[in-house]
Structure 1
Amino acid sequence: MSSDTAPEPKGFRFPTAYTILFGLIILAAILTWIVPAGQYERRLNPELNREVPVVGTYRPVEPNQQGLTDIIMAPVRGLYNPDDNKANAIDVALFVLIIGAFINVVATTGAIDAGIRSAMVALRGHEKWMIPVLMGLFAFGGTTFGMAEETLAFYVLLLPIIIAAGYDALTGVSIILLGAGVGVLGSTVNAFATVIASDAAGIPFTNGIILRFIILGLTWLVCVIYVMRYAARVKADPSRSLVYDRKAENEAQFLKPNRVEATHFTLLHKFVLVIFALTFVIMIWGVTSQGWWMGQMTGLFFAAAVLVGLITRPGEEAFIDSFLAGARDLLGVALIIGLARGIVVIMDAGRITDTILHWAEAKVTGLSQAMYINVIYCIEVMLSFFVPSSSGLAVLSMPIVAPTADFASVQRDLVVTAYQSANGLVNLVNPTFAVVMGALAIGRVPYERWLQFTWPLLIILTAIIMVSLSIGAMIT
């Protein structure tokens, strides 16, 4: 990480997700004074087990403009609305807190660090194969729990090995940033993307999981080949490195006494990782065959955290500290969920949600299924630049976008897949995403060089995603 301690220059700073979402709550309230109020008739959809709008039944209704009190109460009602239990997000917020606690309890055991370090040590002398192995490990973290900030600790461990092997800092950064990023892009059971978005869309997160596995596999393979080809070119001719002008500087920075300790990957560590993976397998089984949802999944991760604590025996106080620290780390995510759902609360109360759906119905009418899903994907790409938070974007966009799938005769799970793929793709380069800028700062890679390196890859990934979505839409 840069040691420059000079104060940051004053100027425009892109607002945080909290500010953006609260601004959208205010905007939604203003729109209730401008947009005509209207409603669809609704009918119970047995497959979704919820009421959905009926095509062609939209009609104008009396407006219900939202004021200052409604704006203030919107985030509260976004989390807990006593008048509408189905609109509550408190169960989702609690799930996020508990899974954060579980992940931190596992991380505190050192099992994740030891596993990755063990792979790094075992592959010394065969650094070429370190690329697919480590990108696979980071992708697993991305697709299961949205591994992002957790990757930052690995840059100082991996970069010395990569540079010593004859590669450059950009190679090391891409292994971690693209590895975890493509895992999030191809989220399968990621609680902070797929699960929350599916809940907001009113469907089980297991719907569409096969297509997500396909997207994950294809995009991971392309990223691995892309990074390996670049790494091979740099090793053969260092002058072809995109950060060649920083070669001496980076070698002086990173090639110090090896900072990668040969941490023993113990049997206990392996057992903890088995429990970690098995927990997600049980979650899928519970949702697909036992009718589980937020309450049961929250209980599962709570029990798994306790089980890890009993097995590793860190002591009661240390266990509680790690549990609460993990929950505390994701408190911001829980608040973002409330803010994002508060926008929908304002729109529903102001009776403009169905009006916007009616406009969307007119736009998607006549579109082919493949065209529709790719339009949704492009919309989510644009939204992701302004709301990089996967959970915030899920709760913000899914209540509005998912019902349009019914008008276009497309399964809602495809909309969820389009959202998560778009958000994951944008967050590989999004300058408003702290993980990207933090990783580049640690690796001493200028942002414009990262864009130069990734833009051909982004085009390839976009093509894979759009073709996959199109095929998915046509066969449903």
Structure 2
Amino acid sequence: MSKQKIIVKKQKKGQDYGAAKTFISAAVILFLMLMLTGLLTYFIPGGEFDPETMIFTKSQTRGIPIVTWIGAPILVLFSDSGALVIAIIIFLLIIGGAIHVLKETGLIEGVILAIVKRFANNENLLLAMLIFVFMTLGAFVGVFEEVVPLVPLILILARRMGWDDVTGLGVSVLATGLGFAAAVTNPFTIGVAQQLAGLVIFSGALLRFFVFISVYGVLFFFLKGHIKRNRTERIDAKIQDTSHVPASAYKFFVSLMLLMVVVVGLTPFISFLRDITLPIIGLIFLIAGIGVGKIVNGSGKWVTKQFFQGAKEMSPAIILILLATGIKHVLIEGQILGTILYGISNQLQNKSPLFALFMTFLAVMGLNFFIGSGSAKAFILMPILMPLMDLLGIGRQLGILAFQFGDGFSNILYPTNAVLLIALGLSRISYVKWLKFILPLQVVLFVLAMFWLAIAYRFGYGL
């Protein structure tokens, strides 16, 4: 066996070990959280809370059987949200398979090599551009889950630039998540919340634009400092030869990626697209993987083999998603969500306006641990928060700003967020390592959010 093959084999073993370690640590954390949620159903009385009349009706039972806790990751597939979970799983399998085919053809390496050569002597510009593009997708279009297919590409680009995998996630998933939090016209948080609150859609955008700029600056300097402290060897010289990839394969791939951008861009403006965006993206990547594979290799058998290998490598992320959604299932089955919301509404009444505003931000951030969807939280919380904002004289626009911050900034922190779990699996970074990286930034973002809420309150934002 040649020396090069031995090195590749050792690298593969190291990657497999890292992936297994990442999966086990995340699975253990989620399982413990699942058990803790089950225990809470015995200590927190269940019930239903009607926010319109502020009436809380207690349940006659308390606690759910332990078999429901343990079986929740499977039982969730047969619940009301089961169809969505299954759709996400199928989407991930398709994306995993398609990306693997594209990588094995050498096309992705070729695209990355071109970018590396273009920005070899100006990595700060590349860093600024990547952060801006991904943050813009989150802030203006409401993209978050849809960036998953791009994560492997950005990770390869980061390695070629001499950046570590954490930086790769930083300029992609992290940037998108923070853009989602510092939203200007995000239709899934701002749009839905303002519609439920009876406000003009996307009104008050000027202040949110300045919030976006401030978060962008914080993230850029945070990642720039991280790169300086954790630079790795730039390995563009070790990229495999991609001269065998025909130009037609690149044209085919780029055309489909442009189509995907158009679909994502139209989603906020065409209502029926919102429910089928992920399936469409999955279909586009499936066509890209099969098409490029056939153009480069020509063998349907080879394409099929590579596709199923990629889908197989995505399976650990699916287990983590089932564990995370299982936590929400136990929360709903135990009927303790209504109790929690009732407690929050009681705590917010008769408080000073600014304190109530800060408490709203914290309450939404806490609830985001269990319910990741911004739109779902808007439907649950707006009927509670908006009357309270009116009562306290804060104004509904400012209440939505607090909701926006609470919903978004913790998306890239909690291990119950499916997008974060998938990204960590793709990068082979453990959740513990990610937590160490993200906590200092979270502290800065927490202070920044409080600052903007106080400024907005001081100048009567939305009144």
The two structures have a TM-score, normalised by structure 1, of 0.61
Task: Tell me the amino acid that sits aligned with residue 124 of structure 1.
Answer: A
Task: Tell me the amino acid that sits aligned with residue 255 of structure 2.
Answer: F
2:41 is the alignment partner of 1:29 = yes
Q: 2:265 maps to which residue?
A: 281
Q: How does 1:19-168 map onto structure 2 within 5 Å?
A: 19-31=31-43, 35=45, 38-40=47-49, 42=50, 53-58=51-56, 60-61=57-58, 63-68=60-65, 71=69, 78-81=76-79, 88-101=80-93, 103-104=95-96, 107=99, 108-110=101-103, 114-136=110-132, 139=135, 143-145=143-145, 147=147, 151=151, 158-159=158-159, 161-162=161-162
- Identical aligned pairs, as a percentage? 11
Structure 1 residues 78, 414: CA separation in 2 closer, same or farther (over 3 Å shift)?
Answer: farther
User: Partner of 1:475: helix, strand, or coil?
Assistant: coil
Counterpart contact for 2:47–2:338, Cα < 8 Å: yes
User: Partner of 1:64: helix, strand, or coil?
Assistant: coil
Of residues 361-370 and 119-128 in structure 1, the stretch that sits farther from structure 2 once superposed is: 361-370
Q: How does 1:60-459 map onto structure 2 within 5 Å?
A: 60-61=57-58, 63-68=60-65, 71=69, 78-81=76-79, 88-101=80-93, 103-104=95-96, 107=99, 108-110=101-103, 114-136=110-132, 139=135, 143-145=143-145, 147=147, 151=151, 158-159=158-159, 161-162=161-162, 174=167, 177-187=170-180, 218-225=214-221, 227=223, 230=225, 242=229, 254=233, 258-260=237-239, 266-287=250-271, 290=272, 294=275, 296-297=276-277, 299-301=279-281, 303-305=283-285, 307-308=287-288, 311-312=291-292, 314=294, 318=303, 321=308, 324-325=311-312, 328=315, 330-332=317-319, 334-336=321-323, 338-348=325-335, 352-367=336-351, 371-379=355-363, 404-409=384-389, 410=396, 417-424=404-411, 426=413, 455=440, 458=442
Aligned length: 406
Q: 1:237 maps to which residue?
A: none
Q: Tell me by how many angstroms 1:120 deviates.
A: 1.6
Structure 1, unpaired ranges of 5+: 43-52, 82-87, 163-168, 235-240
Counterpart contact for 2:48–2:339, Cα < 8 Å: yes
User: Partner of 2:60: helix, strand, or coil?
Assistant: coil
Counterpart contact for 1:138–1:176, Cα < 8 Å: no
Structure 2, unpaired ranges of 5+: 1-10, 390-395
Q: Tell me by how many angstroms 1:19 deviates.
A: 0.7
- Cα distance in 1 for partners of 2:119, 2:188 equals 35
Q: 1:46 maps to which residue?
A: none
CA displacement, residues 93-136 of structure 1 (integer Å, 9 cap, x when unaligned)? 13322432454465343566554442221112333423223434
- Cα distance in 2 for partners of 1:416, 1:131 equals 29
Counterpart contact for 1:152–1:438, Cα < 8 Å: yes
Task: Tell me the amino acid that sits aligned with residue 220 of structure 2.
Answer: V
Higher helix share: 2
User: Partner of 1:125: helix, strand, or coil?
Assistant: coil
- Cα distance in 2 for partners of 1:23, 1:123 equals 48
CA displacement, residues 160-194 of structure 1 (integer Å, 9 cap, x when unaligned)? 644xxxxxx68x9546525541222223899xx99
- Cα distance in 1 for partners of 2:119, 2:445 equals 28
Q: Tell me by how many angstroms 1:284 deviates.
A: 2.7
- Cα distance in 2 for partners of 1:362, 1:123 equals 55
CA displacement, residues 196-219 of structure 1 (integer Å, 9 cap, x when unaligned)? 99999x98xxx8799687755542
Give me the CA root mean square deviation: 5.6
Q: 1:16 maps to which residue?
A: 28
User: Partner of 1:285: helix, strand, or coil?
Assistant: coil
Q: Tell me by how many angstroms 1:458 deviates.
A: 4.8
Q: Tell me by how many angstroms 1:62 deviates.
A: 5.5
